[in-house]
Amino acid sequence: MRQFTTILITGGAGFIGSNFIRYLFEKTDFKGNIVNLDALTYAGNPASLADIQARFGATRYFFEKADICDAGSIEKVFQHYDPDAVVHFAAESHVDRSILGPGTFINTNILGTFNLLETCRKMWEGRSDVLFHHISTDEVYGSLGESGYFSETTAYDPRSPYSASKASSDHLVRAYHHTYSLPITLSNCSNNYGPYQFPEKMIPVMILNMLEDKPLPVYGDGKNIRDWLYVEDHNSAVWQIMCKGIVGSSYNIGGENEWENIHLVNKLCELTALQTGKDPDRYKKLIHYVKDRPGHDQRYAIDCRKIKEELGWQQAFSFDEGLMHTVKWYLSNGSWIEGIKSGEYRRWMEQNYQGR
């Protein structure tokens, strides 16, 4: 089992990163320090870690506002904290935004990853007791038809600016291992859901629109399929890879939980109605088919036998349990939601759904 003293987490103020930091403090025996390096873009929210800051701030948890596109800032953070592991979550993560404006995806996801790798190469030269874990996505593999699964050996075939930028970053990470012997591991996972997800992604968009009696925008015919993974299950997999994964290896992480979007939206209507005491049909009537996402990938499905067989990982949350927890979380965290519904958020929603 690998052990770490100081873990530098990039993008720790975002959805999965903030859940990962909470997971490390609350659900593992990790006793060291965590440094959260985040630029606080529209998707980064320090409020997601207010409890962690209050309990561990300045003793075991340290926040550094820095942009991974700025190599000098990353180096300073490295020099100050001397981390022995990096977990790289920071990215532009939303496919629709990448279609409207790919430039920031190229900068953050490709150049930002390159800067981090360069810093690690310099600072960790010759060390084998360190680890760079890269967080990536199943979207690098492209789109599936009715059958088949993405495995670790599936050829890359990214089809959106987002997935192309993530695919580039994956290749860079592997290249640094092969060329410079940087100790790396890599994971590609399916759609995460759970608390603290920014409401531009499908599940929080639907729950929050129901609460405001707004249309539930289903893209195209609603028959696209995603494999849904509860965020804590993703994070337990990442931690197991960090502790026990083979250096230089990639692991696929999935929920083994495929649903058509329209099925999921109907299910969310029912679960939300259970909590609010309203009639589910009231929410279902809000379902509104809108213009499809350009180049919309049809189906993602992960074959995660490798991580199960090699590391003994397994999902702990059923879909019903994870979704109910998520719905309840959004219903009882009004102040977090109000905090992010800034002018920027409203502008995005208007721009994204205009004309659909």
Residue 31 beta carbon to ligand NAD: minimum distance, rounded to whole angstroms: 25
Q: Which helix (H) or strand (E) holds 191?
A: strand 191-193
We find the least distance from the C-beta atom of residue 201 to ligand DAU, in angstroms, to be 4
Q: Closer to ligand NAD at the Cβ: 39 or 286?
A: 39
Longest dimension (CA), the chain: 63
Cα–Cα distance between 136 and 302 in angstroms, integer?
A: 13
In angstroms, give the least distance from the CB of 23 to ligand NAD.
Answer: 13
Q: Which of 216, 211, 212, 213 is nearest to 331 (CA)?
A: 211
CA distances from 311 to 1, 64, 89 (A): 11, 32, 21
Selection from ligand NAD, ligand DAU, none that 218 binds (CB < 5 to 8 A by kind) is: ligand DAU
Contacting residues toward ligand DAU, per CB under 6 A? 93-95, 137-139, 190-191, 201-202, 205, 217-219, 224, 226, 261, 293, 300
In terms of CB distance, is 119 or 257 closer to ligand DAU? 257
- H/E stretch holding 328 reads helix 319-331
Contacted by 241, from ligand NAD, ligand DAU, none: CB < 5 to 8 Å by type = none
Residue with the shortest CB distance to ligand NAD: 14
Is there a catalytic annotation at residue 96?
no
Q: Is 68 helix (H, G, I), strand (E, B) or coil?
A: coil
Residue 11 interacting entry, from ligand NAD, ligand DAU, none, C-beta within 5 to 8 Å by type: ligand NAD
Which listed option, ligand NAD, ligand DAU, none, makes contact with residue 90 (CB within 5 to 8 Å by class)? ligand NAD
Closest CB 283 distance from ligand NAD, rounded Å: 23
What does 224 interact with, of ligand NAD, ligand DAU, none (CB < 5 to 8 A by kind)? ligand DAU
Whether 186 and 132 have beta carbons less than 8 Å apart is answered as no
Token duo for residue 154: 């599936």
Measured from the CB atom, the residue of 18 and 261 that comes closer to ligand DAU is 261
What does each C-alpha distance from 342 to 48, 271, 345 come to in angstroms?
16, 27, 5
Q: Catalytic: 139?
A: yes
- Which residue lies nearer to ligand NAD by CB, 135 or 225? 135
DSSP code of residue 196: T
User: In terms of DSSP bridges, do strands 258-260 and 225-230 run parallel, antiparallel, or are they unpaired?
Assistant: antiparallel
Is 176 tagged catalytic? no
Report CA 240 to chain centroid distance, whole Å.
Answer: 17
With respect to ligand DAU, which residue has the nearer C-beta, 81 or 317? 317
Catalytic site residue from 92, 139, 232, 297: 139
Give the H/E segment covering residue 116.
Answer: helix 113-123
The catalytic residue positions are 138-139, 162
